[in-house]
Amino acid sequence: MAEVSQEVQEFMKSSTVKDFNQELAQYNLGPLWEAIPAIMNKTPKPQAEAYLWSSELIEKQLTVAAQIFTPERGGERRAIYFQNPGLTYRQPWGWASTTQTIYAAVQLLLPGEKAPSHRHSQSALRFISKGEGAYTIVQGERIFMEEGDFLITPKNLWHGHEHTGNGPMICMDALDIPTIYSLGGTFFEPYEGGLQQPNIPDNFTEKRYRGGMVRPVGDDKYTVAPLANYKWNRTVEGIKGLMEFDPDPHHGFAVEYINPSTGKSANPTLGTRMQHLPKDFHTKALRHTHSTVYHVHKGSGYTIINGIRFDWKAGDYFVVPNWAWYEHVASQDSYLFSVNDLPIMDRFDLEQEQKYESNNGFQDITGEFKVAFR
């Protein structure tokens, strides 16, 4: 122990723990005894909140964005991202992410527009909600996108977009931006000369994987998925097969997009699923460590999140935070696309799941969510 001065000895005699806590703060030191209940909570206490953004709101804002912003070098993309109202601690960066680990956005590309190529250390994915005739060019491969397609843009690969068709192309983007940012691993590089030119055949990776159940010999070593576009028809076929049998009580008829080389998630840090809930199907409630961002591709219904009912319909986006009880109810035949951070939780061996036991697995509704701007 260090020798202490007369002054410090006086302080020790006359002061309380509270005085000392304040004293420590002056030196950028902190007392664990004050912090431990907050920083080591018994179960996950996410700052992210359950939230929903309606299709009308998104369409309105994209219409304005189309008038006032054109994708070009610097701003790069006409994308509007979902800021979770609970994640105000992100404000020092000037923005909030969608969950603590996931950035999600909606992107609009108009006929004739080009979004310049760039590469970054974040992994990206896209789900096409509208349009055809636009392509993304990933590492020299033009990949044409149609409604319902799911695409990945693995980290550090050059990618840009161009719309060579008619009508708007709208997609949901998701990236692991908050995770990479908080790990201090952010790198970004613009491609000299704008949009990269093709240097391999169009739709190369999708053609190589057309069989679905077989993979090209020698393709068993890729940590990065060797397939860029997961076509809607194939996803639907997978779901139709499941529909020959009973649905999963917690998930309905649900498939996950995988890396055909490893069998793991298509993106190493973000899990992705397509889930079909037939009309009137009601999933049993679950909670788990991972968080999820949903996009309603088709149909309508509601999700009860910690007792609050969130009504949804095609084109809406909503968040189920980690460790929140949730169950879905379909009012029409519905398809939900979703992005989660399960691969991150698994990597750190943090994933835990609980099934809601009481009331046959169904929560009571204790409140109805009101969206601020419909």
- Residues near ligand GTQ (CB under 6 A) are 77, 79, 105, 107, 124, 159, 173, 175
Round to whole Å and give the CA distance between 219 and 222: 7
Give whichever of 175 and 320 is closer to ligand GTQ, judged by the CB atom: 175
Question: Which of 87, 308 has the CB closer to ligand GTQ?
Answer: 87
Nearer to ligand GTQ, 82 or 323 (CB): 82
In the complex, minimum distance from the CB of residue 322 to ligand GTQ, in angstroms, rounded to a whole number: 22
What does each C-alpha distance from 197 to 6, 119, 156, 158, 288 come to in angstroms? 75, 15, 17, 11, 43
Q: Which is nearer to ligand GTQ, 77 or 290 (CB)?
A: 77
- What's the CA angle centered on 140, arms 339 and 237, to 5 degrees? 45
The nearest distance, CB 124 to ligand GTQ, in angstroms, is 6
**CA angle in degrees (0–180, nearest 5) for 337-68-143:** 40
The nearer residue to ligand GTQ, 168 or 252, going by C-beta atoms, is 168
Question: What does the CA dihedral 173, 88, 347, 303 come to, rounded to 10 degrees?
Answer: -60
Contact 312, 326 (CB under 8 A): no
The residue (of 77 and 231) whose beta carbon lies closer to ligand GTQ is: 77
Question: To the nearest whole angstrom, how small is the minimum distance from the Cβ of residue 105 to ligand GTQ?
Answer: 4
Min separation Cβ 117 and ligand GTQ, Å? 9
- Residue number, 20 or 188, with CB nearest to ligand GTQ: 188
Chain position carrying tokens 């061996």: 349
Q: How far apart are CB 175 and ligand GTQ at their closest, in Å?
A: 6
Angle 310-313-316 (CA atoms, 0-180°, nearest 5)?
80
Q: CA 236, CA 32: separation in Å to the nearest integer?
A: 52
Vertex 44: Cα angle to 287 and 360 (nearest 5): 25
Six-digit token string for 163: 């719309």
Task: Name the minimum Å distance from CB 132 to ligand GTQ.
Answer: 17
- Cα–Cα distance measured from residue 374 to residue 360, given in angstroms and rounded to the nearest whole number: 34
CB of 108 to ligand GTQ, least distance (A): 11
